Amino acid sequence: MENLFQPVELNGSITLKNRILMAPLTRCMADDDLVPTQAMVDYYARRADTGLIISEATIIRPDGQGYPNTPGLYTPAQIAGWRKVTDKVHENGGKIFAQLWHTGRVAHPHFFGGEFVLAPSALGVEGTVPRMRELNYVVPKAATKEEIEELVADYAQAAINALEAGFDGIEIHGANGYLIDQFLHYSSNVRDDAFGGTPENMARFPLAVVDVIVDAIGEDRTALRLSPGAYFNMAPDVRDREVFDYLLAELEKRALAYLHVGIFDDGMTFDTLGGTASEYMRARYSQTLVGVGGFTPETGSQAVADGKFDLLAIGRPLIANPDYVAKVKAGEALTEYSETMLAELV
Ligand code: FNR
Ligand code: 8K6
């Protein structure tokens, strides 16, 4: 597993001390103003021996919220709260990116006192907000061109706020059926304007977000997570693959910090992709790729050795083992994750 412990440069710029990343993990533990708490400072600080921490998904503005107590990055108090997290992580020798989030059609007006939620098209999902079973998802309002422009600008502002809060960079949450992913799939995007109908149009909003953030904070500080296989809050469509083919070719022309596979289990194969999500992305993207989803240190190390991806993100095992990196280095047994661990920040 030596290869996991070698330092690595993110596209020639930011140097990480090892190849083990903390995957973004929503914990719903921010305070009622969506400000990070002291418990969150301690939780992240304990994991600073990973090569890079990716924060839990953090909303860019109020109408992006789809879960209780998820942190934000749009008020001075939220920025100040995150500053405490990033300072401690840096003090402990770590690096941390903020994952920027808007949940689109799985946002809920309950959280922000609004009248509607925005999405590419007025197509809702069945079901209820997790942990809030009384709240049914609503049918979203199709965003107007002006609303799309505002969203792009708000992503840029959140990225600027992230740097002000001391983050080393940002990862755009373009995965798991949230707003950006909703533009990229035919089952959630039936627009007939410049943002729908063709791969180029469906990739327009995601690429506009990437480019406005690159302009604001630099490509070496900008990363993106994508779920080409629709599997969460999303129904697959055979045509989706062309959209991701186009998007990945466009991303290959840029020099982002990294691209990240958004998946819970990278053992899943998708008929629409002709294999796993990481295989599909690796075949189309030659720069720094982060793999994730069901890996152990052994299988992750092997995948890196085989060139399947360059960096390994670890999610649930890092909830169960704050000292994951030290344990793996020392060859100690890892504590097994269980969902009951989500009740508390350790
Ligand atoms: C997640 N995951 C996730 N992904 C993401 O992009 N943003 C997020 O905020 C979250 N939140 C989240 C919370 C919890 C409790 C879990 C279990 C997962 C997905 C996560 O980053 C990762 O892709 C999966 O957990 C798979 O990796 P592991 O856990 O098998 O190493
Ligand atoms: C990004 C927000 C996440 C909020 C908490 C999620 C808790 C997830 C628990 C893990 C199990 C999810 C499996 C979903 C994937 C289905 C694959 C067929």
pLDDT at position 133, please? 75
Question: Closest-lying ligand to the alpha carbon of 265?
Answer: 1
How many other C-beta atoms are found inside a 10 Å radius of the C-beta of residue 218? 15
Q: What is the pLDDT of residues 153-167, one digit of tens each?
A: 999 999 999 999 999
Domain assignment of residue 206, given as a range: 2-343
In angstroms, what is the span from residue 59 Cα to ligand 1's centroid?
16
In angstroms, what is the span from residue 26 Cα to ligand 2's centroid?
10
The percent of the chain in helix, strand and coil, each rounded to the nearest 5, is 40, 15, 45
CA 211-213-214 angle, 5° bins? 60
What is the CA 47 to chain-centroid distance, rounded?
Answer: 18
In angstroms, what is the span from residue 178 Cα to ligand 1's centroid?
14
- The dihedral built from the CA positions of residue 55, 57, 60 and 65, taken in this order, carries a sign that is negative
Q: What is the pLDDT of residues 5-62, one digit of tens each?
A: 999 999 888 999 999 999 999 999 999 999 999 999 999 999 999 999 999 999 999 9
Atom in ligand 1 nearest the alpha carbon of residue 99: 7
**If you write DSSP's letter for every residue of 169-218 in order, what string do you get?**
EEEEEE-TTSHHHHHH-TTT----STTSSSHHHHTHHHHHHHHHHHHHH-
Active site residue 178: yes
How many other C-beta atoms are found inside a 10 Å radius of the C-beta of residue 307? 9
Contact 138, 124 (CB under 8 A): yes
> What's the complex ipTM?
0.95
Q: What is the pLDDT of residues 237-247, one digit of tens each?
A: 999 999 999 99
Q: What is the pLDDT of residues 129-150, one digit of tens each?
A: 988 878 999 999 999 999 999 9
Q: What is the pLDDT of residues 192-213, one digit of tens each?
A: 999 999 999 999 999 999 999 9
pLDDT at position 285, please? 98
Atom in ligand 2 nearest the alpha carbon of residue 176: 1
Query: Domain containing 41 — which CATH number?
Result: 3.20.20.70
Amino acid at residue number 201: N
Count: domains in the chain:
1
3 state DSSP class of 44: helix
Question: Closest-lying ligand to the alpha carbon of 132?
Answer: 2
pLDDT at position 130, please? 84
